Amino acid sequence: MQNKKSFLTVFIIFLILIGIYYSIWSSQVKKVEKTLGKDLQNLKYSSIEISGFPFKKQVYVKNLEFNFNKNFMTNNILKVKDIKLLSTIFSNTYKILLTEVEYIDSSNEEEIVSKLTFNDVPKISCSFYKNGKIKALTYSDIGYRVMDKENKTVYTADSSSLNLNSVKTETGIDYQLDSSFDGIQNMQILNTAEKKDVLEYVPDLYSLRMNILKSYVTTSDDLESADKVITINDITWKNKTQKTAINLTGILNVTQDDSLPFGQVTLKISEFNKIKDNFLEKVHNTTITDESGTEKLVKDDKETSIIFDQLATILTRLGDKNVESTETDKIFLLQRDKKEFALRVNGENLSQAFEELENDKNVKAK
Sequence ranges of the domains in the chain:
1-157, 206-366
pTM to 2 decimal places: 0.79
Angle at 162 between CA 186 and CA 72, to 5 degrees: 55
Contacts of 251 (CB under 8 A, 6+ apart): 229, 230, 231, 232, 263, 264, 265
Residue 224 — pLDDT band, cuts 50, 70, 90? Answer: confident
Over the range 277-299, which residues count as b (16 or more CB within 10 Å of their CB) and which as e?
eeebeebbbbeeeeeeeeeebbb
Q: Could you report the per-residue pLDDT of 258-271, keeping only the tens digit for each? A: 888 999 999 999 99
Cα–Cα distance measured from residue 67 to residue 74, given in angstroms and rounded to the nearest whole number: 8
Q: What phi and psi, each to the nearest 5 degrees, are found at residue 360?
A: -60, -40
Asked whether the beta carbons of 232 and 251 are under 8 A apart, the reply is: yes
DSSP 259-289: SS-EEEEEEEEETHHHHHHHHHHHHHTBEEE
Span 88-145, pLDDT tens digits: 877 788 898 887 787 777 666 666 677 888 899 899 998 888 777 889 999 999 998 8
Overall average pLDDT of the 165-180 stretch = 92
Q: Could you tell me the pLDDT band of residue 73, with boundaries at 50, 70 and 90?
A: very low
More confident residue, 304 or 55: 304
pLDDT at 197 over 60: no
Q: Is the pLDDT of residue 65 over 60?
A: yes
CB-based burial label for 87 (10 Å; 0-12, 13-18, 19+): buried
Please, which pLDDT band fits residue 11 given cuts at 50, 70 and 90?
A: low
Between 158 and 4, name the one with better pLDDT: 158
pLDDT at position 188, please? 56
Q: What is the pLDDT of residue 195?
A: 43
Q: What does the pLDDT average to over 153-172?
A: 90
pLDDT per residue over 334-354, tens digit each?
999 998 888 999 999 888 887
Q: Are 228 and 215 in contact (CB under 8 A)?
A: yes
Q: Is the pLDDT of residue 256 over 50?
A: yes
Give the model's pLDDT for residue 196: 44
Supply the pLDDT for residue 110: 65
Pick from 196, 289, 198: nearest CA to 298: 289
* Predicted confidence band of residue 26 (pLDDT cuts 50, 70, 90): confident
Structure confidence at residue 199 as a pLDDT band (50, 70, 90): very low
What is the pLDDT at residue 174?
93
- Please choose, from the candidates 212, 213, 216, 211, the residue with its C-alpha nearest in 3D space to the C-alpha of residue 254: 216
Q: Report whether pLDDT(362) > 60.
A: no
The pLDDT assigned to 81 comes to 84
3 state SS of 223: coil
- Span 293-322, pLDDT tens digits: 778 888 888 888 888 888 898 899 999 999
Query: How far is the C-alpha of 355 from the C-alpha of 359, rounded, in Å?
Result: 6
- The arithmetic mean of pLDDT across residues 47-73, rounded, is 72
Q: Which residue has the higher pLDDT, 283 or 142?
A: 142
pLDDT at 22: 65
Is 210:247 a contact under the CB 8 Å cutoff?
A: no
